[in-house]
Amino acid sequence: MLTKTPVSDAQVAAVLDPLGAVREVAPLAGGLFASVLRADLVDGRRVVVKVTGADQARLLRYERGLLGTEVEVNRLAHAAGLPLPRVLLHDATRRHVAGDAMVTTFLDGDLWSELDLDQVGTTRARRSLGAFMARLHSLPVAGRYGYPAPGSGLARDTWPDAFAAMVAAVLDDAARWAVDLPAARLTAAVAAHRDVLATVTTPRLVHADLWAGNLLLDPGTQRVTGVLDAERALWGDPLFELVGADQFSTGAVDPDLLAGYREAGRETGLGDGTPGSGDREAWTRLRLYRAYFACLLVVEVVPRGYPPDQAEWQSGLARANLARLLDELDELDELDPPR
């Protein structure tokens, strides 16, 4: 089972020493791979300390080097005025804790996943999320596609090559953990649609994990005020963002999210380059990304050691989605975009 690195108050104080003296430390909920704590400093500031485990043996390939990715993305996005935490300190020396540490500002707001929103509130939140996506995707481009952490080895010069490497990596992970997946069918589908993937010619920053548990909302306006856990970010097709935001979906994309994206996209210069535009090539790419993500969801339950009920539910639903998506990719000439 994947375990977090235990971190004592004294260790937190040692990590935070360059920033100031610590008054109080308290654990924060969440974080499968990292210990996440809130620390109040004597000078009145409140910060978040995140410490990843030193043992990466139970990580999937794309998860290697997660904290470095989060540091890089937070710095880039915060500098552009996006509501991601500001990085105050990054300590990879492991002098004080048995892992890498990141310290960021504490973001105010309520977790979307913990709010009971009515239909009006949900619509506002979805539109705000779409607007955030558009702003994120307008940031300056990187030089390569794929996952940026050197430890993953999954950065390439083109999107088709990067995505093929991502798929190969999760299939290798499946073999390592003895998880049966339709590897030949998925590999064939990626190869068959390489020309469609090649229509992506600009690497955009994709958060890839914008579900409600990583989003803070203003409880009054339902506007997104904070975005957390950018550790799984990659550079690639903006369409990939839709998968991380709705991880078990195989159908149409939420229209309110798309409306928020398109409205903000006009301001950011993306214009018609919005996800879910309805053309066949866009839906082919989205089906490929959803199939890849379904594989991640199936494989991860083993090294993470999920409880049996959760593992059975997640794996079963993801496998059913994967089968449907592969069938649809085989029959694309006969299919319309999802509605």
pLDDT tens readout for residues 143-173: 899 999 988 999 999 999 999 999 999 999 9
**C-beta atoms surrounding 285 within 10 Å:** 22
Q: What is the pTM of this model?
A: 0.94
| Spatial contact of 264 and 130, defined as CB atoms under 8 Å apart | yes
Tokens for 242?
């839709």
Phi-psi region of 275 (alpha: psi -120 to 50; beta: other; left: phi over 0): beta
- In a 13 Å sphere around the CA of 180, the CA atoms on its Cβ side amount to 2
Q: How far is CA 94 from CA 15, 21, 90, 190, 247, in A?
A: 9, 20, 11, 40, 34
| Spatial contact of 260 and 122, defined as CB atoms under 8 Å apart | no
Q: How far is CA 302 from CA 10, 178, 179, 225, in A?
A: 33, 9, 8, 34
pLDDT at 17: 97
Amino acid, res. 72: E
Beta strands in 138-251 (DSSP E): 145-146, 155-156, 204-206, 215-217, 224-227, 234-236
What's the N-to-C CA distance of the chain in angstroms? Answer: 39
Amino acid, res. 142: A
Residue 56 pLDDT level (bands cut at 50, 70, 90): confident
Q: How far is CA 236 from CA 99, 155, 239, in A?
A: 29, 10, 9
pLDDT tens readout for residues 278-330: 578 889 999 999 999 999 999 999 999 999 999 999 999 999 999 999 999 99
pLDDT at 336: 59
Between 198 and 265, name the one with better pLDDT.
198
CA dist., res. 107 & res. 102, Å (int): 15
What per-residue string of b and e applies to 26-36 under the rule 16 or more CB within 10 Å gives b?
Answer: eeeeebebbbb
Comparing CA positions, the residue from 14, 31, 30 lying closest to residue 22 is: 14
Domains of the chain, each with CATH number or no CATH: 9-105 (3.30.200.20), 119-334 (3.90.1200.10)
For the segment 73-79, the average pLDDT, to the nearest whole number, is 97
| Spatial contact of 153 and 279, defined as CB atoms under 8 Å apart | no
